[in-house]
Structure 1
């Protein structure tokens, strides 16, 4: 099933969750440190990109749909850098600042085209900050066709059940990129998009496809979800819903970097659902987008032209 730029341009997605700044230090590795058995990286280039919920919103915009981003950052250099990146991305920003919050930063050191180490800087937002975000969510919700919650476990979605209830009361589809071993806060959502390891943390291991299907469907029914989309790396994707299940094979591409691939998956799904497509109809395009983005370095987006040409 095809989708036109005009159809996607009418899709309005409200993205809520953990925005972060992705920093990359690229350099040459010529020797081992005399102080410890670790490589010495001579940094020659730095790169900054939007990460987390901001990357999900950027993926929505790259497809030609419209995205609003509701998030909180710290009143710090990283937050100001993230603000500038968002301002130039086409995202409609609703970014609150809080002096007690440290903007989440993931710093990756790259040598010889390989990630050598990642350093994370973060803290959790205070409850009064989250209350203000919930009030803003209620104000923004009516102007959007779908809601995407990007949960990176950084604490910005502590009031998630109430926001899901508000969205469903207004008949807005809710899509969630989940994290952690407890999915009960996601109850009532339309679709969640775990990968294999994330699902395994919740339902345990499985011995075969039948057991996987039974566990996925039991989780879906228990949480009262319309669908569960499982991303399976080289095995493609499987969608579990009330009609059963449907799978698509992975696009045959060289995998360069899976960083941010989950953002692309849920952003593409949200953009299509916001345009009126069902999860089943959108699934082949979601799979194509995932195949494209893993061939790119770091957090990245997929354009409409790339998707249609895949």
Structure 2
């Protein structure tokens, strides 16, 4: 998807309705959704290919050009029956006034093409990341996991919705609090959370479950243990895209054979950096190294 930002100033209220009038003075496009995951991997120095579906329109051209600039290889299947997903945000003084979404679900024919291409290229990669935004692009999730397992590939999934059965047998899920509640219901205590998370992990045959908890940091459920990672965010400016940065960093670390607990530590630092930036953003290796050095110095 394409994240489109309209920046402007507000100095008066519309005479037509009690809403602010934004005078736009700058427009900025950024890769969003799975494209933001891909650009985060590239920003950290990883080799990444984005396989997805777009329309035949101006946003798809803009998206492809942006990703090329950020060293992301793309295989974008064009579906003439839909428009490329666009999230349009209008901001004044860096405060979001409104977000407008344009989205349609891809056709079955195009999704079959995606699955065929996925099967053809999977052997070239160490780790597979499936970013589910509930937009209809991942209707073959179970089959994709099965193909990856046959190739001994690790599969990381950012989930959506309440039915997590489609993510069975993956290596790791990275839900946020509200996404996990959709799947297992609410919890009142930390003990109840651990019980529900571990039950889900076992029922779905997941190796790990990583819960992102905003200001509370992250919790990794693995084996019968829960490892807590406090947040390192100095200032939370914008949480949009933070989950993308987490799974991107985690995937790159695991592709380089980093132990899961160390990989989550690095992903946690990356998340703490990116929430201090406006909109969907990336993190660099130098930024992570600098944060790690500051952390070690202050210990």
- TM tier relative to shorter chain: over 0.9
Equivalent residue for 1:113? 94
Q: Summarize the alignment of residues 56-71 of structure 1 with structure 2, pairs less than 5 Å apart.
A: 56-71=37-52
State the shift of 1:236 in Å: 0.6
What corresponds to 2:295 in structure 1? none
From 58, 71, 77, the equivalent of 1:77 is 58
Asked if structure 1 preserves the Cα contact closer than 8 Å seen for 2:233 and 2:271, the reply is no
Secondary structure at the residue paired with 2:188?
Answer: coil
Partner of 1:256: 237
Q: Which runs of 4+ in 1 moved over 2 A?
A: none
> What is the 5 A alignment of 1:1-310?
20-310=1-291
* Deviation of 1:288 (Å): 0.1
Shift of 1:21: 0.2
SS at match of 2:32: strand
SS in 1 for 2:139: coil
Instruction: Give the unaligned 5+ runs of structure 2.
Output: 292-299
Query: What is the rounded CA distance, in whole Å, between the counterparts of 1:290 and 1:22 in structure 2?
Result: 19
What is the Cα deviation at residue 243 of structure 1?
Answer: 4.3
SS at match of 1:66: coil
Q: Secondary structure at the match of 2:206?
A: coil
CA distance in 1, matches of 2:180, 2:57: 35
Q: Using the TM superposition, give the Cα deviation of residue 101 of structure 1 relative to its aligned residue in structure 2, in angstroms.
A: 1.9
Compute the TM-score of the two structures, normalised by the length of structure 1. Answer: 0.93
RMSD (CA atoms): 0.8
Q: Please tell me whether the aligned partners of residues 241 and 280 of structure 2 are also in contact (alpha carbons under 8 angstroms).
A: yes
| CA distance in 2 between partners of 1:128 and 1:81 (Å) | 24
Mapped to 1, the partners of 2:98 and 2:91 lie a distance apart of 8
- Residues 165-221 of structure 1: CA deviation (Å, up to 9, x unaligned): 000111100000111111111111100100011111111111110000000001111
Distance 1:253 1:181 in 2: 32
- For structure 1, the 5+ residue unaligned runs are 1-19
What is the CA–CA distance in structure 2 between the aligned matches of 1:124 and 1:229, rounded to whole Å?
28
**Whole-Å separation in 1 of the counterparts to 2:83 and 2:207:** 36
What do residues 278-309 of structure 1 show as CA deviations (whole Å, max 9, x unaligned)? Answer: 32121110100000000000000000111111
Distance in 2 of aligned mates of 1:90 and 1:252: 27
